[in-house]
Amino acid sequence: FGSELTVSKTSRFNLCIDGVFLCCFSNELCSSGTLLQRWNVPPDLQLSRQVAGTGVPGKKGTNSVLVLIVGLSSLGAGAYVSRKVVPGKKLHDDSSASGLQNKQNRLSHLSPAAPGTHPKVPSHVPFLLIGGGTAAFAAARSIRARDPGARVLIVSEDPALPYMRPPLSKELWFSDDPNVTETLRFKQWNGKERSIYFQPPSFYVPVEDLSSVENGGVAVLPGKKVVHMDVRGNTVKLSDGTQISYDKCLIATGGSPRNLPAIERAGKDVQKRLTLFRKIEDFRRLEKISREVKSITIIGGGFLGSELACALGRRARTRGLEVIQLFPENGNMGKVLPEYLSNWTTEKVRREGVNVLPNAVVKSVSVSGNRLVIKLKDGRKVETDHIVAAVGLEPNVELAKSAGLEVDSDFGGFRVNAELQARSNIWVAGDAACFYDIKLGRRRVEHHDHAVVSGRLAGENMTGAAKPYWHQSMFWSDLGPNVGYEAIGLVDSSLPTVGVFAKATAKDTPKSATEQSGTGIRSESETEAEASEVQLSESSSPTPHVPTQGEDYGKGVIFYLRDKVVVGIVLWNIFNRMPIARKIIKDGEEHEDLNEVAKLFNIHED
């Protein structure tokens, strides 16, 4: 006690304790932000991130040690660590994801930090990113790519580290792993497994180390909301009163799921049986509910509603779950797809085991006994146990008032210029950005690919690139592993359309597409790609045909026209052709025969 303990040739620690002590010497347990943070040891007494590393990922090293000293006495408890490092020896942390998981498993029996406690937050950061979704993560990566020493802080309302949202309504529901709600790992349609998280925890710098760590890094402050923004003073205030100043700031606050007025008026008993699907916790809760109730009703016929209907419909056959989907349109995806294809999609969803009710407008929702009763405007009644409302997204623009930023009255979201700037040192990306598209006019887009591309561009511009936004983002929707489509531009069923179809082959499925590209999130292989040129020439291929009612639409191209110019394209069961579609829209030319244009997509390939 009070003696000097030599633990290696490079590190020496002085111990000073009173009472009982515990020393753990283990390279496998050494990782910043694990044991000491969970036990609330003050940051200035914790081992540094550099000293806590194992040296070589996945291997034993001799340059690290974790020393935990717990001193207990009748007057209280204390932990005291002082370290001496021999000059010239650089220690670092480069833990692998698998190693980190082992550490977490081994330490899971220890008491975590008390709820509501947070590490010391730096008072100033060069780059502040508000929001912890796809756009913010893409921006952080982009900033670090152009400025390797940059220090980036992400402040996120979500308690989780940045993750991708598409699998929440797609692949995760088709997993055979009974623990999928905990692991959040899934098999893509191509059979490869991946995590929903963009990066493991070891990728990030602990928040309290961000200001001092060598070569900077990206830190995430989860479970915190920015409630006030002073654009003149370059400061923000968090929900707990903490203030942070910044040099440059990105607003990537995303959006919140809309609710139906009829449900909002219904009272707490109905709200308890409602899911507004958006986050990891929503997936976990709905997955659990689907195992416990007999009936689930999904309100909404768009992308999310139709994807969830198909996913839950799979369980209808195996578990006896009744799945109902209702919406005011004539068919699934009625606001996007032309009527004939919307009707075909509705029948496809029905074949998945879903009771689809089109032309259904909700009048009221009430509780009767143990069940919910949904009354429709045409007099019909639907009884169910749980409701999922998938009726759109409202951009989160609360900061506009305190910051004095402009919100677009037509599309919602923060209005930004061509470089995604709202002010000289403030940028906006993702769902919350209303930007000007040089080809299609002012828009706001709520898709994964747009979040990736706009976040990346904002990050580049925050480091001086001064690039305008020109990218036509794509989006995709899968109704299971065998039917899917990709789209780009303005895809609005109110526009005139021309559809050209051909017979599908075994290769024309989302599953096959991901096997060919090697990616599960298809925009990862498509982002920013564009065909160098589009040439129409005589072809020996048979002329594609415009479909007739009742036809089985194997694969095809749907062109959306405005003033005779193609402004949107849907590729139905045609994959990895988005660069061609992007080029057609960018050219903005009139085409006399769209049958010839459809041949550019090689829809007759075997």
Q: pLDDT (tens digit, 9 = 90+) per residue, 81-97?
A: 333 333 333 333 333 33
Per-residue model confidence (pLDDT) at position 21:
35
Q: Which of 372, 377, 337 is nearest to 360 (CA)?
A: 377
Mean pLDDT, rounded, for 537-555? 54
Per-residue model confidence (pLDDT) at position 239:
94
pLDDT tens, residue by residue, 346-355: 998 998 899 9
Q: Which of 20-34, 169-183, 240-254 has the highest mean pLDDT?
A: 240-254
**Which residues neighbour 219 within 8 Å (Cβ) at sequence distance 6 or greater?**
151, 152, 153, 154, 204, 205, 206, 207, 209, 210
Q: How far apart are CA 346 and CA 353, in angstroms?
A: 11
Residue 12 banded pLDDT, cuts 50, 70, 90:
very low
Cα radius of gyration rounded to whole Å, the chain: 27
pLDDT tens, residue by residue, 250-296: 999 999 999 999 999 998 999 999 999 999 999 999 999 999 999 99
Mean pLDDT, rounded, for 212-238? 97
- Tell whether the model's pLDDT for residue 505 goes beyond 90: no
- Tell whether the model's pLDDT for residue 162 goes beyond 50: yes
Q: Which of 49-53, 416-420, 443-447 has the lowest mean pLDDT?
A: 49-53
Question: Does residue 308 or residue 549 have the better pLDDT?
Answer: 308
| pTM of the shown model | 0.75
Per-residue model confidence (pLDDT) at position 14:
35
Q: Which of 500, 443, 452 is nearest to 475 (CA)?
A: 452
Determine contact, residues 115/432, Cβ cutoff 8 Å: no
Residue 516 banded pLDDT, cuts 50, 70, 90:
low
Mean pLDDT, rounded, for 353-368? 96
Determine contact, residues 50/129, Cβ cutoff 8 Å: no
- Tell whether the model's pLDDT for residue 473 goes beyond 50: yes
Share of the chain above pLDDT 70, in %: 71
Q: Which of 183-187, 306-310, 395-399, 525-529 has the lowest mean pLDDT?
A: 525-529
The secondary structure of 276-312 as a DSSP string is E--SHHHHHHHHHHHHH-SEEEEE--SHHHHHHHHHH
Mean pLDDT across the chain? 79
Per-residue model confidence (pLDDT) at position 252:
98
